[in-house]
A and B are shown apart, each in its own frame.
Chain A
Amino acid sequence: MIAYAAQRLVFVVFILVAMSLLVFAAIYALPGNTAAIMLGQFATPDSLAAMEAKMGLNDNFFVQYWRWASAFATGDLGQSMVMERPVAPILWDAMAKSTILAAASLFFVAVIGIVLGVVAAVRRGRPIDGAIAIFTYLGISVPEFFWGIVLILVFASWFDLLPTMGYASLSDGIGPFLAHLVLPVVTLTLTLIAHVSRMTRSSMLEVLQSNYVRAARARGLPERRVLRHHALRNGLLPSITVLAQDFGWLIGSIVVIETVFAYPGVGRLLIFAIQRQDIPVVLAVILVITAVYALANLAADLMYAYLNPRIRYGRSVG
């Protein structure tokens, strides 16, 4: 198990290096370099050349990459060109706010999605199964910004119950803090729940028809016990993988949702940085998002391995 985790960790590092190279190369290939952006459109060719030389922009690509990457690895994420502050504190602050949003959404997606999926599987073909299918498909087939706007319209414009934008920190009181989270979290949950609940339903159906569930029934175990002890343990394994994949999707959705609700998280920071061509911030944000995504997948794999004895205990006995 430890060897397995170590192997996977090596993979994650490999992915991060590859990803950083790719992003760095993409920005390198773009027209207009950092010096041009800093000096603005009225820069003279001479001052541009001097700036480029000062910033080392004439160096070989790999030298530039190495300079950036080694600084990044030691925690120096660079300086924001637009805000004229170090990137790191800006990024960590936005990260913290997005994490709250992501964690809350993922929690509700997991709990509600799995419960809906299990109920649909156990009551297969009944009206409740159909109702769950309609609800979840509506969530997945309509884009998240639509739900965001609908929710804003209903809860903020018509009933004036909840704030539509921004963020309140815990120091402003627990009430405002939660109120600002409700609409974005509900929107994100709606769009992601279908994936988890459909996967849970189909894997539970498969398990409920398996020979070992039949064998458990034939041993006279009550149906509740068959479901809890024999079916859930295997039926939920694929849901874990799906949740990890959804995490990537969630990051994508967060960028949209934070824009719709003007929520000051990492997604909004990225959009802002791209619009202003704030290259150090773009690089840092993309790399951190990649790292989070890769680590989420790693966590899912380790959890899957832990729950699946075929990976945990390989050897045979007897």
Chain B
Amino acid sequence: MDDALLSIENLTVTYDTLAGPVTAVDDLSLAIGPGRAVGLVGESGSGKSTVAGAVLDLLAPGAAIDGGRIRFEGTDLASHDRATRRALLGRRIGSVFQDPFTSLNPAIQVGDQIAEPMMVHLGVGASEARAMTLERLDEMGFARPAEIAGAYPHQLSGGMKQRALIAAALACEPKLIILDEPTTALDVTIEAQIIDLLERLRTEKGLSYLFISHNLGVVRRVCEEVYVLYAGRLMERADTDALFDRPSHPYTRGLLASLPRLQPPHRVKRLSTIPGELPDLLAPPPGCIFEARCPFSAEGCDRPQTIRVAGVRQMTRCHRHAEIAGEAWPSRARLGHDFSRKGFGDALVNVVGLKKRFRMGGLFAGIKLKPGLPPRIVNAPPVVKAVAGIDLVIRPGEVVGLVGESGSGKSTLGRLLLRLEDPTEGAVEYDGLAIERLPQRALRPFRKEAQIVFQNADSSLNPRKTVGETLRRPLALFGIVPARERAKRVGDLLEMVRLPRAYATRYPHQLSGGEKQRVAIARALATEPKFIVCDEPVSALDVSVQAAVVNLLADLRDELGLSYLFISHDLAVVAQLSDRIAVMYRGTFAETGTADQVLSPPFHPYTLVLLASAPRVDGSAMPDRSALLRDAAPGAGAPDGDGCPFFARCPSRIEGTCDELPPPRRTPAKGHAIACHLKLDALPTRFVPAAPAMGAAPGAVASAGPE
């Protein structure tokens, strides 16, 4: 493709590691035409960010380009000297990275950071650069650009920061923008806003995108063609619709099949998974790199695979793509009996009127001089209401999903249920025992029965202890089994979480992310608990691994009759596992009910926004989100403390009511509660998930890939 804006030809990048060279990108070719949006998809370790580093000449130390060419506007980038190449960045190639929270310089005003490349590349003066900066910020949809330009980064929310960074990337009107996971760190409602913005900008300015992401839903939304990377190799390349509707490579099909879906019914089947994990790149297998994990592997897969044509503008690195086209990705039913169908007993955990306030700042925080004569000192410590009055029942064997954006108070609620925090007000009862004021000593029996699994197993496992030592600790602490039987019990626990018994001698750094999380689950199971708080247990995991861990949690619930409070920002994951769902906003429940009730109309206006914002891979048209959400910072609430917490962002708000009075509890059905001033028949019902989903035969939807 000679008319391509960017063309990558046979690119190979290797990293020098202590153990030897690792090929992070192997013989990748990719082309982006003018005005095209091209997706580069893969899980962690796929080499997708290394590609961005190679194009920008910002590879990590130790990485080197070992072969191939990168041409931009027809010129080989390697033919430029370093300074000339650097000068292309910003001027002709813009870039936006994953983490907006750390990508702006904290010491420089936002406007100056946008104006700086203009002054360097275009040679314009300070005042002209300032005028252009305000213009850019205006294009990003900021209502008051001057205020944003004068602000320091810490004064902006995450979404605002990312919009400012996009403005900086577009400062000199480059033609190509490299977007490396631009929405991954953001809440789902903000992600939706950023995607809308990116789409508008591309149309208006004729930009080309190299869009790097692990999130297939976002890629489907933004991109026109997609490259799928696995272990540094290109697995498949296709136009977006073809890729999602007729994926040809087994890896692509596995990825799509592993995704949890929002549509009910849930829990009937387990998620499909991709078994195994990334091959060791120090000694990659000679044949197909995906063979070890591929359910369709057969004779011939142990030979090196070449890229072949699989359809119109579709290429795949699989010699069996035509033979296996009709075979479904294997899925499996639940093991054992359906626990939820027996009906649940009395409350295991019973929470009434629970509140938690945090005081902010240090000794003198909130002490302010009140002007006047003489000036007076007033003490008004700023207070954050993390949990603002929660009633909740969790019954034996029941999974309650807790969903909400960052800062909604969901982790604090989880910690309060375990008495890892002391409540400010309210009661927490566990198995009939009031635990909210018990001294730590008296909590010991409770500590044995109630456990927690954290999001980040990297930091929750002690790096200096073997898996066996980590698991023996709770066994000894609570006297679960006599000392001589502990080694055997450790092995049993590992088997319970589907890990080999031999893992007892391994250290955490010898485990993959999914394996670490399994060990964390095994540690929680060691005390034979009845109740586990799972605080974002799969959020840090890749899609294929996430599915396996979600299945494991579901299996364990069925085998052991556990109750979970399952906390996640991802409604689809919550829907997959939960019997009931609670939607949390600013410390209160906006909506509670069974999973089906919450995911079907009528909705709380906030639930509707969450559902509408979740990017979907089925290609269904996105609802118009602009009508669903007012432009206010997430977490912004009513002017004073009494009104509806969602007031500031709610499009259906009733002025004078919603901002003054706490919302009443509406109950459309038994067990379904919506906290909203809107009358039942006025609650939004418009959003209907994808055309084939809701009405289709139950059971056909939840598990299968996109056949």
The residues of A that contact B147 with a CB separation of less than 8 Å are 317-318
Q: In the complex the two chains form, is B155's CB within 8 Å of A317's CB?
A: yes
Q: In the complex the two chains form, is B148's CB within 8 Å of A215's CB?
A: no
Interface residues contributed by chain B, number (CB under 8 Å):
46
- Nearest CB to that of B102 among chain A residues? A211
- Nearest CB to that of A221 among chain B residues? B120
Smallest CB–CB gap between B374 and chain A, Å? 14
- Nearest CB to that of A311 among chain B residues? B154
Q: In the complex the two chains form, is A215's CB within 8 Å of B103's CB?
A: yes
Interface residues contributed by chain A, number (CB under 8 Å):
31
Q: In the complex the two chains form, is B117's CB within 8 Å of A220's CB?
A: yes
Q: Does B63 contact A (CB under 8 A)?
A: no
Known: A211-B99, A220-B117, A233-B105. 10 other contacts (CB 8 A): A211-B102, A211-B103, A212-B103, A214-B103, A218-B58, A234-B105, A234-B106, A234-B107, A307-B107, A318-B156
Instruction: Provide the bound-state CA to CA distance between A211 and B117, in Å.
Output: 17
Interface segment, one of A104-112, A223-231, A287-295: A223-231
Interface residues of B (CB under 8 A from A): 56, 58, 83, 86-91, 94-95, 97, 99, 102-108, 113, 116-117, 120-121, 142-144, 147-148, 151-152, 154-157, 160, 165, 168-169, 171, 364, 367-369, 633
Q: Which 3 A-B pairs have the closest CB atoms?
A: A220-B90, A220-B89, A219-B90
Interface residue ranges of A172-214 to B (CB < 8 Å) = 210-214
The residues of A that contact B56 with a CB separation of less than 8 Å are 217-218
The residues of B that contact A307 with a CB separation of less than 8 Å are 107
Smallest CB–CB gap between A18 and chain B, Å? 16
Q: In the complex the two chains form, is A222's CB within 8 Å of B97's CB?
A: no
Q: Does A41 contact B (CB under 8 A)?
A: no
Q: With A219-B89, A220-B121 known to touch, is A317 a contact of B151 (CB < 8 Å)? A: yes
Instruction: Provide the bound-state CA to CA distance between A225 and B83, in Å.
Output: 12
Q: In the complex the two chains form, is B107's CB within 8 Å of A309's CB?
A: yes
Q: In the complex the two chains form, is B105's CB within 8 Å of A216's CB?
A: yes
The residues of A that contact B87 with a CB separation of less than 8 Å are 220, 222
Q: In the complex the two chains form, is B165's CB within 8 Å of A215's CB?
A: yes
Q: In the complex the two chains form, is A318's CB within 8 Å of B83's CB?
A: no
Q: Does A158 contact B (CB under 8 A)?
A: no
Q: With A212-B102, A219-B89 known to touch, is A318 a contact of B160 (CB < 8 Å)? A: yes
- Nearest CB to that of A234 among chain B residues? B107
The residues of A that contact B120 with a CB separation of less than 8 Å are 220-222, 225
The residues of B that contact A218 with a CB separation of less than 8 Å are 56, 58, 89-90, 95, 97
Instruction: Provide the bound-state CA to CA distance between A92 and B539, in Å.
Output: 65
The 8 Å CB contact of B152, one of A211, A214, A230, A313, is A313
Q: Does A3 contact B (CB under 8 A)?
A: yes
Q: In the complex the two chains form, is B102's CB within 8 Å of A219's CB?
A: no
Q: With A212-B104, A212-B106, A309-B106 known to touch, is A220 a contact of B88 (CB < 8 Å)? A: yes
Smallest CB–CB gap between B333 and chain A, Å? 45
Q: Does A308 contact B (CB under 8 A)?
A: yes
Instruction: Provide the bound-state CA to CA distance between A7 and B157, in Å.
Output: 29
Q: In the complex the two chains form, is A233's CB within 8 Å of B104's CB?
A: no
Instruction: Provide the bound-state CA to CA distance between A215 and B95, in Å.
Output: 8
Q: With A220-B117, A318-B160 known to touch, is A215 a contact of B108 (CB < 8 Å)? A: no
Smallest CB–CB gap between B508 and chain A, Å? 24
The 8 Å CB contact of B169, one of A219, A222, A225, A313, is A219
The residues of B that contact A54 with a CB separation of less than 8 Å are none
A sample of 16 cross-chain residue pairs with beta-carbon separation below 8 angstroms, ordered by A number, consists of A211-B97, A215-B165, A216-B105, A217-B86, A218-B56, A218-B97, A219-B94, A219-B171, A220-B88, A220-B90, A229-B116, A230-B105, A309-B106, A309-B154, A313-B155, A316-B155
The residues of A that contact B367 with a CB separation of less than 8 Å are 7
Interface residue ranges of A282-318 to B (CB < 8 Å) = 307-310, 313, 315-318
The residues of A that contact B151 with a CB separation of less than 8 Å are 317-318
Q: In the complex the two chains form, is A3's CB within 8 Å of B368's CB?
A: yes
Instruction: Provide the bound-state CA to CA distance between A317 and B367, in Å.
Output: 22
Q: In the complex the two chains form, is B116's CB within 8 Å of A219's CB?
A: yes
Instruction: Provide the bound-state CA to CA distance between A317 and B160, in Å.
Output: 10
Interface residues of A (CB under 8 A from B): 3, 6-7, 210-223, 225, 229-230, 233-234, 307-310, 313, 315-318
The residues of B that contact A216 with a CB separation of less than 8 Å are 105, 113, 116
Instruction: Provide the bound-state CA to CA distance between A212 and B91, in Å.
Output: 18
Smallest CB–CB gap between A158 and chain B, Å? 46
Q: In the complex the two chains form, is B155's CB within 8 Å of A219's CB?
A: no
Question: Which of A210, A217, A218, A223: most chain B Cβ within 10 A?
Answer: A218
Question: Which of A225, A230, A307, A316: most chain B Cβ within 10 A?
Answer: A316
- Nearest CB to that of B159 among chain A residues? A318
Smallest CB–CB gap between A241 and chain B, Å? 15
Instruction: Provide the bound-state CA to CA distance between A153 and B87, in Å.
Output: 55
Q: With A210-B102, A234-B106 known to touch, is A217 a contact of B89 (CB < 8 Å)? A: yes
- Nearest CB to that of A313 among chain B residues? B152
Instruction: Provide the bound-state CA to CA distance between A90 and B660, in Å.
Output: 70
The 8 Å CB contact of A219, one of B108, B117, B152, is B117
The residues of B that contact A222 with a CB separation of less than 8 Å are 83, 86-87, 120
The residues of A that contact B95 with a CB separation of less than 8 Å are 215, 218-219
Instruction: Provide the bound-state CA to CA distance between A217 and B87, in Å.
Output: 10
The residues of A that contact B168 with a CB separation of less than 8 Å are 215, 219
Smallest CB–CB gap between A295 and chain B, Å? 19
- Nearest CB to that of B362 among chain A residues? A7
The 8 Å CB contact of B107, one of A220, A221, A233, A318, is A233
The residues of B that contact A318 with a CB separation of less than 8 Å are 142-144, 147-148, 151, 155-157, 160, 633
- Nearest CB to that of B112 among chain A residues? A229
Q: In the complex the two chains form, is B148's CB within 8 Å of A317's CB?
A: yes
Question: Which of B91, B155, B369: most chain A Cβ within 10 A?
Answer: B155
Q: With A211-B99, A220-B91, A318-B633 known to touch, is A310 a contact of B86 (CB < 8 Å)? A: no
Smallest CB–CB gap between B173 and chain A, Å? 13
Q: With A217-B58, A315-B155 known to touch, is A233 a contact of B108 (CB < 8 Å)? A: yes
Q: In the complex the two chains form, is B86's CB within 8 Å of A220's CB?
A: yes
Smallest CB–CB gap between A121 and chain B, Å? 14
Instruction: Provide the bound-state CA to CA distance between A318 and B95, in Å.
Output: 24
Instruction: Provide the bound-state CA to CA distance between A219 and B160, in Å.
Output: 19
Smallest CB–CB gap between B406 and chain A, Å? 16
Smallest CB–CB gap between A192 and chain B, Å? 26
- Nearest CB to that of A223 among chain B residues? B86
The residues of B that contact A233 with a CB separation of less than 8 Å are 105, 107-108
Instruction: Provide the bound-state CA to CA distance between A19 and B24, in Å.
Output: 61
Instruction: Provide the bound-state CA to CA distance between A225 and B105, in Å.
Output: 14
Smallest CB–CB gap between B442 and chain A, Å? 40
Q: With A220-B117, A307-B107, A317-B147 known to touch, is A215 a contact of B97 (CB < 8 Å)? A: yes
- Nearest CB to that of B165 among chain A residues? A215
The residues of B that contact A313 with a CB separation of less than 8 Å are 152, 155
The 8 Å CB contact of B97, one of A214, A223, A234, A317, is A214
Instruction: Provide the bound-state CA to CA distance between A146 and B408, in Å.
Output: 60
Q: With A218-B56, A234-B105 known to touch, is A316 a contact of B156 (CB < 8 Å)? A: yes
Q: In the complex the two chains form, is A309's CB within 8 Å of B152's CB?
A: yes
Instruction: Provide the bound-state CA to CA distance between A215 and B100, in Å.
Output: 10
The residues of B that contact A220 with a CB separation of less than 8 Å are 86-91, 117, 120-121
Smallest CB–CB gap between A275 and chain B, Å? 41
The residues of B that contact A316 with a CB separation of less than 8 Å are 154-157
Instruction: Provide the bound-state CA to CA distance between A229 and B115, in Å.
Output: 13
Instruction: Provide the bound-state CA to CA distance between A215 and B97, in Å.
Output: 8
Q: In the complex the two chains form, is A221's CB within 8 Å of B633's CB?
A: no
Q: In the complex the two chains form, is B154's CB within 8 Å of A310's CB?
A: yes
Instruction: Provide the bound-state CA to CA distance between A83 and B156, in Å.
Output: 64
Instruction: Provide the bound-state CA to CA distance between A233 and B116, in Å.
Output: 15
Smallest CB–CB gap between A25 and chain B, Å? 26
Q: In the complex the two chains form, is A308's CB within 8 Å of B107's CB?
A: yes
Smallest CB–CB gap between B262 and chain A, Å? 31
Smallest CB–CB gap between B212 and chain A, Å? 13
- Nearest CB to that of A312 among chain B residues? B152
Instruction: Provide the bound-state CA to CA distance between A317 and B154, in Å.
Output: 10
Question: Which of A220, A310, A317: most chain B Cβ within 10 A?
Answer: A220
Q: In the complex the two chains form, is A215's CB within 8 Å of B104's CB?
A: yes
Smallest CB–CB gap between B407 and chain A, Å? 13
